[in-house]
Amino acid sequence: EVQLVESGGGLVQPGRSLRLSCAASGFTFDDYAMHWVRQAPGKGLEWVSVISWNSGSIGYADSVKGRFTISRDNAKNSLYLQMKSLRPEDMALYYCAKSFCGSASCFPDYWGQGTLVTVSS
Amino acid sequence: QSALTQPASVSGSPGQSITISCTGTSSDVGSYNLVSWYLQHPGKAPKLIISEGTQRPSGFSHRFSGSKSGNTASLTISGLQAEDEADYYCCSYTSSDTWVFGGGTKLTVL
């Protein structure tokens, strides 16, 4: 069974940094691309970033480009999202999602339960 | 990266069929057979219901079907059931090698 467990969320002041993690199990992690998707309170889903199986292809939404960095450690079955210069509009539940295949052009198929990031002074 | 356009809400009675549209551009929906659909019940994580425009995950209900015409993808749910009441989102790959979601549609089963 695919399991994705996000962690690292919390309360952070505007302008500060935070690193999210996603622990994966139940599938061969290094065969699949991975996504981050966020959802602000009461709002819809917003795609954030994707990384291919070997980190060779990475994409970001314009809203986070230059501030967020996605990475993965296949030896640890883990996905990360380093977030810098956080803004109030970055406040959201951040989901880690497994991709259907190894390419960054594959859609998310399984999702974790999310970790909440609150940006406030 | 503008969000795909979905109706904010749709409704139907049990047993009826409804269709949710998802309109993009020639840079996303119109260029790729890579539209996926997700449902999300309140407080829960999204769940994949349609991939690559028309494909259902293994074992998933045949009441859900997808289609595409030009820059618009559609999700049809037939034989509406109370448990279908949820938020529905479309998602497409884009020519910028990124992904974009629709704004979401709230389905109410009357």
- Asked whether the beta carbons of residue B97 and residue A59 sit closer than 8 angstroms, the reply is yes
- Asked whether the beta carbons of residue B45 and residue A107 sit closer than 8 angstroms, the reply is no
pLDDT digits (tens, 9 = 90+) for B2-33: 899 999 999 999 999 999 999 999 999 999 88
Could you say which DSSP state residue B51 is in?
A: B
Alpha-carbon distance of B86 to B76, in angstroms, equals: 14
- Asked whether the beta carbons of residue A35 and residue B99 sit closer than 8 angstroms, the reply is yes
Enter the tokens of residue A86.
């956080």
Alpha-carbon distance of B68 to B36, in angstroms, equals: 11
Query: How would DSSP label each residue in A67-117?
Result: TEEEEEEGGGTEEEEEE-S--GGG-EEEEEEEESSSSTTS-EEEE---EEE
Residue A113: its chain B contacts at CB < 8 A? Answer: 45
> Which pLDDT score, from 0 to 100, does residue B86 have?
97
Provide the residue type at B30 as one letter.
G
pLDDT (mean) for A73-92 = 98
Alpha-carbon distance of A14 to A72, in angstroms, equals: 25
Report residue B57's pLDDT band, with 50, 70 and 90 as the boundaries. Answer: confident
> Which pLDDT score, from 0 to 100, does residue B52 have?
86
Nearest CA in chain A to B45: A113
Alpha-carbon distance of A112 to B27, in angstroms, equals: 29
Cα A48 from chain centroid (whole Å): 7
Residue B99: its chain A contacts at CB < 8 A? Answer: 35, 47, 50, 59, 107
pLDDT (mean) for B35-39 = 96
Nearest CA in chain B to A93: B45
Using CA atoms, how far residue A68 sits from A39, B11, B27, in Å, is: 16, 38, 24
User: Around A83, how many Cα atoms within 13 Å sit in the side-chain half-sphere?
Assistant: 31
